Structure formats: C-alpha cells, structure tokens
A = this chain, B = another copy of it.
Amino acid sequence: MPYEIGDKFKDECGVFGVFLNEPEDETDAASTAFYGLYALQHRGQESAGIAVSNGHKINLHKGMGLVTDVIKPDIIKQLKGNIAVAHVRYSTTGESGIVNAQPMVFHYLQGMLGIAHNGNLTNTIELRKQLATYGSVFQTTTDTELVANLLARYSQDKLEDGLTKCMIDLKGAFALIIITEDRMVGVRDQMGIRPLCLGDYEGSYVLASESAALDTIGAKFIRDMKPGEIVIIDKNGLKSSQVVNSPRCAHCVFEYIYFARPDSTLDGINVYQARRELGKQLARECNIDADMVISVPDSGTAAALGYGEESGLPFQDGLMKNRYVGRTFIQPTQSMRELSVRLKLNAVGKIVSGKKLIMVDDSIVRGTTSKQIVQMLRDAGAKEVHMAVSSPPTSYPCYYGIDTSRREELIASKLGVEEIRQFIGADSLNYLSREGMFKALGGNSEKYCDACFSGFYPVGVES
C-alpha cells in the first residue's frame, strides 16, 4: 500500500458490481464501475479490471496497476453494456501477474460468466483435484477460476441451483460478484467473513465490498448482504435466497482495525467511529502519564484522536507524513541507513522536543518500522515515547484473504510484550486487550473472526 507507512498487513481485494435498468449512455455501467472501483483502491493496488455485459456478450479489460492507470477513458468507451463487475486485487493466493488479475470471463454451457472474488477458499486442493478428475483444466491458481469450473460442472442445472450447490462445496471466505449476459449475482460466504453490501443507484442495484463505494457514486446504502445469502438481479428485480445457515457469523475484525476505509460502515458499524472507540478503550486500559498523544499517520490517527478525547491529553501532529510517497525507491547508501522511514515521516522537533509522548498505532507486524519511528522521535528530542496499539498482538496468520505474511515474520508470534517493547525501544508498550477490542466493537465477540489475534479459526483450513 504505497501511501501507508510500511510494515502493515497487506490488503486483499475489492469487488464492485452494477446492474443498470435504463442507462442513459451505453458506457454508464462501465464508468459507474470505474468510480466504484476507484473508491475501493485501498483494497488492492496490484491489478484492476472491469467486465461488462451488453446482453449478448461480456467484454473485459484488466491490467497491472492502479485503477486510473488501467482503466483509461478510451477503454471505458469500448466497454458498452448495462451490467458490469469490477475488481481490484492484492494477491493473497495465486501468483502475482496479469494471468491472475480479475475479473475473469468464461464461456460455459449456458453462455458467459464474469466473476470477481474477494476472500480465500480453504478447500481448494481438494476441489481442484476433484474437478481435474472430471477433465477440468486450470490456467491460473485463482479461486475465481475454480468457482467458474465448479459452476460449469453444475451447468445442466438452473443457475440458482448451480449456485446453491457451489455454496455447499466452497469452504472459506468469499464475497463474489458474478455477471452473466443478463444477470448480476452476489454471494457471501456463510459466516460473512468478507464484507459485501447492496445499494440503490437511481433505482438500479449495485454491489460493493464497502459502503464508501456507494457514497462515491452517489448510491444509497440498502443493506449488507447476509452470511450465506445469494442475490440474483435481473430486469425483473432482485431475488434473494438464504442458501446455508450458520450458527454464528464471523466478520473480519481487521476490517475495522485497519483495512476498510474509515468512512465505510460494515455490518452496522462505522469504521471511523469503531477506531475512535478502540482508541478510547485503549486510553482506559493504559493510563499513562504524558504531555500529548500523537499518531502514526494515517492509520493510527482515528484511534489517537479517541485516545486523546478519553484521556484528556492534547492530540498533536508530532509525526508529519510526506504525502508524495511513491512506489519505487533508490536503495539508500550506507550513510543513510534507516532513511526509508524518514522519507515517509518526519518528527517535528518544535512539537515533540522535551515532551512525554503517547504514540498510537493500529497494529504492529514485524516491529521494524515502529523501532525506527521511536528512534526518530527520540532524535527530535522527545523525553519519553510510550507506544499504544489499538488492537491485541497479531500472533497468527490469516487464511481468509489477508496477506499476513508467514507466521515467523509476526513479531508477536515469537516475542512477549516486554520483549517487543525492548526491540522497538519504547518507554512502555501497551496493546489493547481482546475484551477491550470487542467492547469497543459493540460487545459481542461471537460476531467476529479474530483468528489473527486468538488463533481460533471459525472455518477449517486444509492442512
């Protein structure tokens, strides 16, 4: 994520779909999808793509890079039709590269399919083997292609029935948007791990990973899709089926802590307010004597403001971010060791010098960046640097669509809190408790997947 300070969990994917009833212009679906996708850019910067159906055929354009690099105006002009599905990707499974970019378009017995997927299936080895035995070939390592082959296997059934059978076969986290020549389908896994919501765009339906994408195009939020729900939208309107029922749901708690846009509301909770509450709860648990609260921008700012509010300490911009951080860098020479953080952040001496600081961040992955920031603050004259983290230690990998890197890279999987404090060189280090986290999120720990903190995986994982 180019514009974020390093050492963060990498993003996953974002999906967006639109079914226009009466487009004014034949490229309206494509341009609506472009703007929706643009609003989801934070969910994946590796590749982008849009597939559009004109009633007879699905046309596709995708490429490596940011949405505005890939989907140029002259591309939009060629994507005519009233149904569109779009995708931004950060590779979580499958290899990187254009071959795995989404959406993907397939011809099968009943016509064409355009599929965009966010999440990660946990029984792919088994499913791919099964399908290959019947003669399927795979050109990629994506879950999307697997879903298409599975659906084609049931192609003698009606689409609704095929989708129902698929949902029973698929394990793991998935938020899918599928278009055919004349329909748009939304599918959410039975625990609702990854988000997907439904909106009303001037009388037409849209689907999006986050509600902020609805705001961007000027659509109204209708509701979140339910775990285990399939919606099929065609010219006659929307038909919903509750295909599988699960005793509990398991919304990803990290969407609130870091991934989602602060202006999105997911499954009833506004992300910015959740972060502010996490910061307030953190203040209640910490109780540290300091002169001011500062944040590691931008991801720690909402929690830092909450911390300030609850503790009564002033919030100050002690760390300034260079807003032009690009994606390619020259390797610093030996005399510029640890320069990379300074290129992105600057500690403002006039603010922090001689002060006792509480520095709030949303999480710690490897700890190396935190260590450099603490040192930079000390170099700028800070008297004390207390680090406060608005989530518990991240000790376990995610198998549901987030790139947590390998477990051995997570500092909290190897070291205790005091050891981490020593490593990053802070005067104190406080993580939010699991109880505190759930309290800030409304109190019901049963609603969430927090496997990265607890190691409790709500859906079984292939070993």
The interface of chain A, by Cβ under 8 A from chain B, is 3-4, 24-25, 27-28, 31, 34-35, 38-39, 41-42, 45, 60, 66-69, 71-73, 76, 98-99, 104-109, 113, 128, 131-139, 141, 145, 148-149, 152-153, 155, 202, 212, 215-218, 261-263, 265, 270, 272-273, 298, 301-302, 305, 309, 314-315, 317, 320, 322-324, 326-336, 339, 342-343, 346-348, 350-351
Q: Is the CB of A217 within 8 A of B336?
A: yes
Residue of B nearest to A302 (CB): B317
Q: Is the CB of A137 within 8 A of B133?
A: no
Q: Is the CB of B339 within 8 A of A218?
A: yes
Q: Is the CB of A262 within 8 A of B3?
A: no
| Cβ contacts under 8 Å, A39 to chain B | 322, 343
Q: Is the CB of B265 within 8 A of A350?
A: yes
A250 to chain B, nearest CB (A): 24
CA A322 – CA B342 in complex, angstroms? Answer: 23
A128 to chain B, nearest CB (A): 8
A341 to chain B, nearest CB (A): 10
CA A108 – CA B131 in complex, angstroms? Answer: 9
Q: Is the CB of A320 within 8 A of B263?
A: yes
CA A149 – CA B139 in complex, angstroms? Answer: 11
6 closest A-B pairs (Cβ-Cβ)?
A: A68-B326, A263-B320, A41-B324, A270-B350, A109-B132, A107-B138
Q: A24-B334, A31-B330, A107-B137 are in contact. List 5 more A-B contacts (CB 8 A).
A: A109-B135, A215-B346, A218-B339, A218-B342, A270-B348
Q: Is the CB of B350 within 8 A of A273?
A: yes
Of B136, B261, B327, which one neighbours A320 at CB under 8 angstroms? Answer: B261
CA A12 – CA B38 in complex, angstroms? Answer: 29
| Cβ contacts under 8 Å, A324 to chain B | 3, 38, 41-42, 45, 66-67
A345 to chain B, nearest CB (A): 9
CA A132 – CA B261 in complex, angstroms? Answer: 41
CA A348 – CA B271 in complex, angstroms? Answer: 10
Q: Is the CB of A330 within 8 A of B76?
A: yes
A356 to chain B, nearest CB (A): 19
Residue of B nearest to A348 (CB): B263
Q: How many copies of this chain does one complex carry? A: 4
Of B263, B317, B336, which one neighbours A346 at CB under 8 angstroms? Answer: B263
A223 to chain B, nearest CB (A): 15
Q: Is the CB of B24 within 8 A of A330?
A: no
| Cβ contacts under 8 Å, A73 to chain B | 330-331
| Cβ contacts under 8 Å, A218 to chain B | 336, 339, 342
Q: Is the CB of B135 within 8 A of A134?
A: yes
A53 to chain B, nearest CB (A): 16
| Cβ contacts under 8 Å, A4 to chain B | 323
Of B66, B137, B155, which one neighbours A326 at CB under 8 angstroms? Answer: B66
| Cβ contacts under 8 Å, A149 to chain B | 135, 137
A3-B323, A329-B68, A348-B272 are contacts. A109–B133 as well, Cβ < 8 Å?
yes
Q: Is the CB of A343 within 8 A of B270?
A: no
A106-B139, A149-B135, A336-B217 are contacts. A305–B298 as well, Cβ < 8 Å?
no
A222 to chain B, nearest CB (A): 15
CA A24 – CA B273 in complex, angstroms? Answer: 50
| Cβ contacts under 8 Å, A261 to chain B | 320, 322, 346
Q: Is the CB of A335 within 8 A of B106?
A: no
CA A323 – CA B212 in complex, angstroms? Answer: 13
A59 to chain B, nearest CB (A): 10
| Cβ contacts under 8 Å, A38 to chain B | 322, 324, 343
CA A339 – CA B219 in complex, angstroms? Answer: 12
CA A152 – CA B202 in complex, angstroms? Answer: 47
| Cβ contacts under 8 Å, A302 to chain B | 317
A171 to chain B, nearest CB (A): 20
Of B148, B272, B346, which one neighbours A137 at CB under 8 angstroms? Answer: B148
A45 to chain B, nearest CB (A): 8
| Cβ contacts under 8 Å, A350 to chain B | 265, 270, 272-273
